Amino acid sequence: MGGVSPEAIESVQQLADTWRAVVLDRGTGDVADPPGMAIRWADSQFPFWNCITFTDRDCGVRLLEDRFAQAVDYMRRRRQPGLIWLFEELLDPTCRKALPQAAERAGLALSLSGFGMAGDILPIAEPHHPELEFVRVTTEEQLIAYADLNSRAYGMPLEAGRHGLAGSALWKTGMYTYLGLADGVPVSAAATVATGDCLFLALVATAPEGQRRGYGEATVRKALYEGARATGLTRTVLHATLAGAPVYERIGYRKVASIGFWGLKR
């Protein structure tokens, strides 16, 4: 039990706690904590909102196989696809080596990989970008623009992001949700929310045509700046894709956990 780093445990708990609020905001779906699992499943067309993570520490191979079987059975009974977010630091060394084979036997395929990241980096300086105007998302029109940016950035139909965010009170009032506008057109997006004693960063996206101009990083910094200013929090947590991690390291985050995102085989 003592082999799992506190920061990896924190990363799992931040996911479970933040996604609880996200799923409840949608008004449907499951928020449940059976032994060794956290189910946060909105049954949304936006697959990030359909999530299972495992919470056992120093998990062995036999226990992982049991958790996979439980999760796969659950996922097969849902209408919408989703992912198991597996924090590999919670597995014992033997189990970590056996993970690919165990997932294969369970009928799972790796969709993408990423990292849990954290840093005691707040407050930060107010950001500026010569090509961007930052606006806080407070209207439904702005929220739809935010959803569309995420859909486009992750290669999803526009309907997926809208199904995950449209009509949300949480993203308009309970979070520090920002768009970056270039010549009045939304090109980047980021949001932060207070979860316990951390500021959680979520749904960072840049329009495909706006890549490599610093838009995403600037908008992340804006969401962090405003969230920290409002809450006084000094620690921040996020979950990053492999591609996004270097951007967050420039801001000051450190990798604290490796995450595999596992979905049902097609």
Q: Give pLDDT tens digits for 26-78.
A: 998 999 999 999 999 999 999 999 999 999 999 999 999 999 999 999 999 99
Residue 193 belongs to some domain of the structure: yes
Range of the domain at 34: 6-114+259-264
Tokens of 195: 């979860």
Query: Residues with Cβ < 8 Å from 212, sequence gap 6 or more?
Result: none
Amino acid at 9: I
The CATH number assigned to the domain holding 182 equals 3.40.630.30
Please check whether residue 227 is in contact with residue 176, taking contact to mean a CB–CB distance below 8 angstroms: yes
Q: How far is CA 249 from CA 23, 243, 254, in A?
A: 29, 11, 6
Domain check: are 12 and 57 in the same one? yes
pTM: 0.96
Please check whether residue 261 is in contact with residue 110, taking contact to mean a CB–CB distance below 8 angstroms: yes
Residue 250 belongs to some domain of the structure: no
Cα gap 54→65, rounded to integer Å: 12
> What is the pLDDT at residue 28?
84
Residue 211 belongs to some domain of the structure: yes
Q: How far is CA 160 from CA 148, 171, 248, 264, in A?
A: 9, 16, 26, 19
How many structural domains comprise the chain?
A: 2
> What is the pLDDT at residue 54?
99
> What is the pLDDT at residue 2?
54
Residues of the chain by 3-state class (helix, strand, coil), percent to 5: 40, 30, 30
> What is the pLDDT at residue 101?
98
Please check whether residue 60 is in contact with residue 97, taking contact to mean a CB–CB distance below 8 angstroms: no
Give the pLDDT band of residue 103 (cuts 50, 70, 90). Answer: very high
Average pLDDT on 184-206 reads 98
Tokens of 42: 């909105």
Domain check: are 139 and 194 in the same one? yes
Domain check: are 93 and 165 in the same one? no
1 pLDDT higher than 60? no
Residue 253 belongs to some domain of the structure: no
Domain check: are 189 and 153 in the same one? yes
Residue 248 belongs to some domain of the structure: no
Average pLDDT on 216-241 reads 99
The residue with tokens 């309970």 is 174
Query: Residues with Cβ < 8 Å from 143, sequence gap 6 or more?
Result: 137, 165, 166, 168, 171, 172, 177
